[in-house]
Structure 1
């Protein structure tokens, strides 16, 4: 891990912090590689249930480091995309905790996450057109899937910013908080971590992948994935815990034909 990206384990929640506050956390190649490595850790470590990505110094990410761009640097990771994330998200849930600005590539990094918690003073936008560029890391493809297409068109063509209240109104963010976004994100992560890990992982997988499934195959494809949930030890443990009025003790084990972790 390099000093441009910091990580900490907060009781099973991996907090990933872009650590370039003097540059408004503009994305570099090194930072992108650091994020990719952190996300690999998130998926490979069974202790970790949820990831949070945030920025140091009161800003989420101001986009690509333009000085690096002029030097010929591209802040991407092969197979992972801009910021080590936009082309390939982790299997486990990832929350963006946004303070300050999420602009250009920073917004594209944010919308590659599964959930977004924003401070009330946060600002959002894809102003690439103002610099003769285009939002090619998801702003032109993923954003219209998350907000009404005419709003996505307006943001892309004008390059104007919107505030947190407007972002919440159009469904771009899940929650707006008055304090640091990381506090709200940790609260959300705690609620997710309390649930069965297999159920969470498969639920995310179906929601993400079903968008590209042919309409007449959706139920069949879902049926292929659900046995991982319903034939797991956690499914029985969840029912038993409910009946016994206690907190469940999750194991993340599958008890189907091929026993073992899934």
Structure 2
């Protein structure tokens, strides 16, 4: 694994792309770029986001991803006009937005300003951490449209929220404020409007400074062990943790601590 980190922005060449990408400091920022349509998801945007997420997992110089929306809205869900014409913003094997069915192995932070509705909220639920502007709103309004939140909302919302709160979202279709989402553990940090991306960058920088093998193993085990008993977890965790303890990074971490220097992670 390369130990170098790009510190200058590596932005998408095409400003008209529906997903803009930028790399800096080991962090890949993916921005939904349909502000005039409140960043409603299209098939093209889903395919572009899936490609960006593949890059996140494949590039050894990238440790963390951030997903956000341009123009003060995260994502208003699928583009209903295109839905009426038969388009589905789904990528085979990856689901809605190219994300919800197969999130990346590396950490993903959702930086939310404004509305995160329907599939947009389901993409938030597929992320690992959430930073939100204080006016952000989260909702699953599918029942108001004769639909259901089948891009993960029906089962992920009750995992991260109290059952009654999740059911209120699902059955009324009414949105939840950022403050309430934070109180119930859905959102990690609420910041001033316009500050979600900067706060997400700070969080991502902290994660990117840690050993990449340990970070990926921690995320994978935390997710996969949700339905395991304690006995099963202690037995099964070795497949995730033994490679970490046997790695070069496991030797580098204590050595750097003892020598009072920053660790140089190799990812091996």
Q: Of residues 65, 77, 80 in structure 1, which corresponds to 2:91? A: 77
1:6 aligns with 2:20: yes
Any unmatched runs of 5+ in structure 1?
A: 254-262
Counterpart of 2:206 in structure 1 is 191
1:39 aligns with 2:44: no
Distance 1:90 1:212 in 2: 20
Counterpart of 2:6 in structure 1 is none
SS in 2 for 1:87: coil
Distance 1:13 1:191 in 2: 11
Distance 1:212 1:89 in 2: 18
Counterpart of 2:248 in structure 1 is 233
Distance 1:216 1:226 in 2: 16
Distance 1:22 1:66 in 2: 14
* Aligned residue runs from structure 1 range 39-188, under 5 A: 39-178=53-192, 179-188=194-203
Distance 1:215 1:232 in 2: 25
Counterpart of 1:220 in structure 2 is 235
Encode CA deviations 1:90-146: one digit per residue, 9 max, x unaligned. 110000000000011100011100000001110111111111111111110111001
Distance 2:238 2:59 in 1: 27
SS in 1 for 2:78: coil
Counterpart of 1:15 in structure 2 is 29
Q: Normalising by structure 2, what TM-score?
A: 0.92
Distance 2:68 2:258 in 1: 39
Distance 1:49 1:248 in 2: 15
After TM superposition, give the deviation of residue 10 of structure 1 in Å: 1.5
SS in 1 for 2:148: coil
Any unmatched runs of 5+ in structure 2?
A: 1-11
SS in 2 for 1:245: coil
Counterpart of 2:5 in structure 1 is none
- Count of aligned residue pairs for this structure pair: 253
